[in-house]
Amino acid sequence: MTRISVVLLPAVAALSLAAGFIAAQTSEKPLTVEAIFAHGPLIGHPPDELTWSPDRKHLTYLEGGQLMEVDSATGRTHVLVSAAKMSPLDENNVSERDRDHRSRYNMAGYFWSPDSTHLLFDADGRLWLYDLHNGTGVQIGFTGLAAGDDPKFSPDGCCVSFIRDHGLAAIRLHDAGTPMISLAPSPAPAANNGQVLLNGQVDWVYEEELDVRSNYFWSPDSKNLAYLQMDETQVPRYPLADWIPNHASVDWQHYPQPGDANPVVHVGVVSVKGGKTTWVKLPIREGDDYIPRFGWVDHKTLWIEVLSRDHKHRVLYFADAEYGDARQVLEIDDRKFLDEDYDISVDDGAIVLASWSDGHNQLYLYSYDKEKPLGAEAKLEKQLTKGAFEVGDVYRVDTSHKAVDYASNEGNPLEQGIWRVGFNGDRAALSTDAGFHHASFSPDGSTFTDKFSTRMQPPVMRLCHETAPGAAASCRVFWETHALDSYHLRAPEQMEVKARDGTSLYATLLLPAGMTDPATVPLIVNPYGGPGEQTVANEWKDGLLFDELLTQHGFAVLHADNRGMGKRGRAFAQASYREFGPVQLADQMTVIDAALAKYPQLDPKRLGWWGWSWGGTFTLYAMTHSDRFRTGVAVAPVTDWRNYDSIYTERYLGLPADDADGYRDFSVVNSAANLKGRLLLAHGTGDDNVHMENTVQFVQKLIEAGIPYDLQIYPRKTHSIAGPDVRTHLYHRILAQFEEYLNPKESLDQKPEAPAGNGQ
């Protein structure tokens, strides 16, 4: 499930501030809604799509409609491809869903050729080849897809492959007229007995829940392509309606819900010349098991990862590319569910992967016979990292120098550093500053970019060079912002509270300035609460700006990470196993009570709650399982877990047939009649992640129970409800909800009447 950031997009208007609270502000320049939203992100736009050329000579990124380059020696920036030359690529004719799709899944807009002399730009399905030598570009093809076309150069640079009409195709760059070849075309269902096939294209549920970004790969010798075929014939469809035209239209989305048939998947190998596909023979359960990752061991051998439907078994196979024979080489199991890191590096006799088998997500090194990959099972050589910390992204595995570059929160569970570990187990930190670091390494590993931030420091982009083995890197800033200097933002207080079982829970509390009288400050809690995420960290989050704005209106804001969330080890994460509510709510209430006890100015009778996605569901769970919250806002919530997708939901709750009681008890649609406090529901009608049916079903239960509510819908908008106009409207509604029902100046003896709204 995608977590939505609180503040990312522009807005154009603001509500007036309460004069008493403005006077109490310590900020030299008070925040307004306009300041946060109206002109794009207040901190500006850090470099997007940072990419190294294969020869390591170019580090590029997109900014302001042009391609910028960072000098790898000095860190200075200059324009590599001007906005004028890139202007033909910008037609902005993509749909709302395609635009959201590219943003949500960080789809690349350009690619370097293997010889580092050309760039391929993907402009909403139009492929442009740009020559660095003569500064000219030419359109070489059109994929027919605005999102999900997945273009790639072949390793020898002679071809560009992509997805067209749900099948795999390629263009020969050096042949006259750059002819297109259909390598694995997908027949239309009408001509294929109704069968719905995706050859190399990623479907929604794999992209969203397994973080799959590509379903085909070139062999190292550029002669063949391996691809995943997804048969969605038996996967149920959901209607995404567009009511804006006079004649409404429907876009049908294949979307497996818990217990439904999943896509049937097969791995095939096809020659770059086209022809018959060779299918790999894997012992998997069709319509159940998943293939989250696969690739090439060498030009004759594939590696394929299979994940069982119950998320308890992860198996790696090697397969012969010519005949399709496969054998298992390693397996990882868990009695509840496996961690969500499915990435594997297979190269030159070494396999590197992450697993939380010892209780924390750590790196493991396996070996195989690179001369005869199918000859025997892989051998566990070493657990490369070990300790009470979590390994995050693996940036680079260098088999020639026998080292791995990766992210880790070693030393502080609320921070993230950049590390390197050798195959011998020796590890060293490449970053030293306290805070959060995200890296992008050059092909040879000697240079990397460091996107660094802290809770109060917006991102700074640095270019770093390795100085000596085992030593921290030397870095130079090439992008930073001072846009917040005049606001003098205040840091929230870091809190640590013990859960009922003694587990440490981390939280932050931001209080309005100058308000010390007892029971005068309303408290708004804004947790996410769901699996996999970490919201309380020493990292810049745009949501701090909205929190600060809320404090200017007299509210205190609390964020807490409960058990069942991520970055704290297996036991912490697996608290969500068959438990989507009670444990999470108990932890949040423990933190709330600790904050109320420490700060008497907080008013225990004026509590509010708001959240988005899982956080929106959490809002509804809290307001239907507690009478302590006067108001809340739920944006794009799941209200019945039978409505959400199979991969995510079954990982934690299992199949509905195996735990009907759990699906009933954890689905807030079944507790809607117990709602306490005034509720605002918000949802985009085009949401392809958490469907609009969730909010509609919850509203129906409120009507049946005679409970008033407020409803705000956003036509055509997806799960992120993106766009300056709608984000403006949404955050006005959120702020107005809390001002109406938690007004700090209102007498406790006066209970506010429900205003007329979109609901009852």
108, 173: one domain: no
Of 103, 132, 149, the residue that ends a domain is: 149
Output the domain CATH number for residue 127: 2.20.25
Counting residues of the chain whose pLDDT is more than 90, the rounded percentage is 78
> Which of 104-134 are b and which e, b meaning 16 or more Cβ less than 10 Å from the residue's Cβ?
bbebebbbbbbebebbbbbbbbbbbbbebee
Give the pLDDT mean for 450-463. 96
Give the pLDDT mean for 101-121. 86
Instruction: Look at residue 25 in the predicted model and tell me its pLDDT.
Output: 43
Is there a domain that residue 326 lies in?
Answer: yes
Output the domain CATH number for residue 234: 2.140.10.30
Instruction: Look at residue 94 in the predicted model and tell me its pLDDT.
Output: 63
Is there a domain that residue 115 lies in?
Answer: yes
- Residue 5 pLDDT > 80, yes or no? no
246, 207: one domain: yes
More confident residue, 736 or 467: 736
- Residue 222 pLDDT > 90, yes or no? yes
Number of domains in the chain: 3
> pLDDT confidence of 152, banded at 50, 70, 90?
very high
* d(C-alpha 404, C-alpha 515), whole Å: 51
Instruction: Judge contact between 419 and 407, C-beta under 8 A.
Output: yes
73, 196: one domain: no
Give me the amino acid identity at 514: G
144, 197: one domain: no
Is there a domain that residue 396 lies in?
Answer: no
Is there a domain that residue 330 lies in?
Answer: yes
Instruction: Look at residue 631 in the predicted model and tell me its pLDDT.
Output: 98
Cα of 30 vs its chain's centroid, Å: 32
Give the pLDDT mean for 93-110. 72
Instruction: Look at residue 2 in the predicted model and tell me its pLDDT.
Output: 62
Structure letter (DSSP) for residue 38: B
> pLDDT confidence of 407, banded at 50, 70, 90?
very high
Output the domain CATH number for residue 573: 3.40.50.1820
584, 710: one domain: yes
What is the per-residue pLDDT across 279-312, written as a single tens digit (0 to 9) for each?
999 999 998 999 999 999 999 999 999 999 999 9
3-state secondary structure of 351: strand
283, 315: one domain: yes
What is the per-residue pLDDT across 496-517, written as a single tens digit (0 to 9) for each?
999 999 999 999 999 999 888 9
Of 98, 122, 149, the residue that ends a domain is: 149
> Which of 695-721 are b and which e, b meaning 16 or more Cβ less than 10 Å from the residue's Cβ?
bebbbebbeeeebbbbbbebebbbbbb
573, 666: one domain: yes
104, 164: one domain: no
More confident residue, 732 or 101: 732
Of 134, 149, 164, the residue that ends a domain is: 149
Residue 551 gets the label, from left (phi > 0), alpha (psi -120 to 50) or beta, of alpha
Instruction: Look at residue 745 in the predicted model and tell me its pLDDT.
Output: 60
What is the per-residue pLDDT across 701-722, written as a single tens digit (0 to 9) for each?
999 999 999 999 999 999 999 8
pLDDT mean across residues, the chain: 91
Note down the domain range covering 257. 155-338
Give the pLDDT mean for 383-393. 98
- Residue 567 pLDDT > 50, yes or no? yes
Instruction: Judge contact between 532 and 340, C-beta under 8 A.
Output: yes
65, 205: one domain: no
**pTM for the model:** 0.93
140, 162: one domain: no
616, 683: one domain: yes
What phi and psi values does residue 590 have, to the nearest 5 degrees?
-60, -45
Give the pLDDT mean for 354-371. 98
What phi and psi values does residue 555 have, to the nearest 5 degrees?
-100, 150
Is there a domain that residue 80 lies in?
Answer: yes
> pLDDT confidence of 391, banded at 50, 70, 90?
very high
Instruction: Look at residue 415 in the predicted model and tell me its pLDDT.
Output: 98
Is there a domain that residue 259 lies in?
Answer: yes
Is there a domain that residue 213 lies in?
Answer: yes
- Residue 75 pLDDT > 70, yes or no? yes
Give the pLDDT mean for 205-231. 97
> pLDDT confidence of 3, banded at 50, 70, 90?
low
> HSE of 553 in the Cβ direction (CA atoms, 13 Å)?
27
- Residue 103 pLDDT > 80, yes or no? no
* d(C-alpha 153, C-alpha 58), whole Å: 17
> pLDDT confidence of 147, banded at 50, 70, 90?
low
DSSP-assigned letters across all residues of 621-650: HHHHH-S--SEEEEES----TTSS-HHHHH
174, 323: one domain: yes
Angle in degrees, 0-180, between the axes of helices 614-625 and 582-598, rounded to the nearest 10:
80
Is there a domain that residue 672 lies in?
Answer: yes
